[in-house]
A and B are shown apart, each in its own frame.
Chain A
Amino acid sequence: MDRNKVSVAEPYLPPAPPTPSSEFVFARLGAYWRALGVSDPDQIAALSEQALRRAAESPEAPGLDAVARALVAAGELLDDWLARAFDLPRSPRELAAARAALLSGAAPNWPAALFAAPGEADTVLDALRAARAEPAPAPSPGAMPAQRIELFGSLDSLRRLWRSEPRD
């Protein structure tokens, strides 16, 4: 790649607006919620507001602008709900697995469950539980000690002879 050309070319991602308008933030959050599978505009608006409130309360993260922080907060909202619904530890892997199950298409009507009263979304939760990825069984470790192989001395001498030859 010609670095000189790159430096004058348009960057791959446009630069972040210094002070993004609230319309812009809402538009990006709306697009994100739709990508996650939420289609009801009222639900999108409610979730976006919650995400914005959460982002405002969260400490500034290095490398993330206001819009990105709002999007991170949107993800955390989901994670909170998943952790409560499945009684999960706050481990990033566990939460990511639950989020992947949510977004896998196993329970397309999950947004309804998000707003449902406790106990009314059991079918959705069961489907999500079944869809959670299990990449490996529980560990059952064993030792595999390196074996000793006695190399014959004569061959070692030959090898030393070979190694002493100059290399080009």
Chain B
Amino acid sequence: MGMTNVYLLATAATEGSDDLLSKLGIDGWTLLFQTIAFLILVFVLGKWVYPVFVGIIDKREADIAASAKAADEAKKAADSASEEVASLLAEARQQASEIVATAKTEANAAVAAAEDKAKAKSAAIIAAARDDIDKEIADVRKTLHNDVIDLVTAATEVVVGDVVAKKDIDTALIKKAVQGAAK
């Protein structure tokens, strides 16, 4: 089909363009004007319209690139933030572990100190109780000693009184005392 048209156009050019265009129903001038109008249109579009669209497209592309870059940076920032968060979490865990360890150490120290204090206090209480007991024992012994002496004195007085009630014994006692004093 294309070849046919070319052939026809070539034939018409050789035999007379006007006739051929006329036979084809094409007005030469119209064709010329349309061609010129087309070229003008192409020029106008190329001069003013296409740059606008190209600018828009370029701008759009730049925006997309910027967005992609921003997204990439955001991703990097997110990754970095994630790493930082992980680092912070690790640091926080370490600090928490240290705090817990310190707290355990302090708690153990406090418990040990409390135990020592309690032991010292209990020892002091025991010592004081022992002192009190010893003192009470000493008092009881003293009382017992004195009571025994009172008892022995009373018993001796009764027994000896009964014994020396016999005059001979009392006389012998006095005689012995005087003889002993005379020596």
Note whether A and B form a binding pair.
no
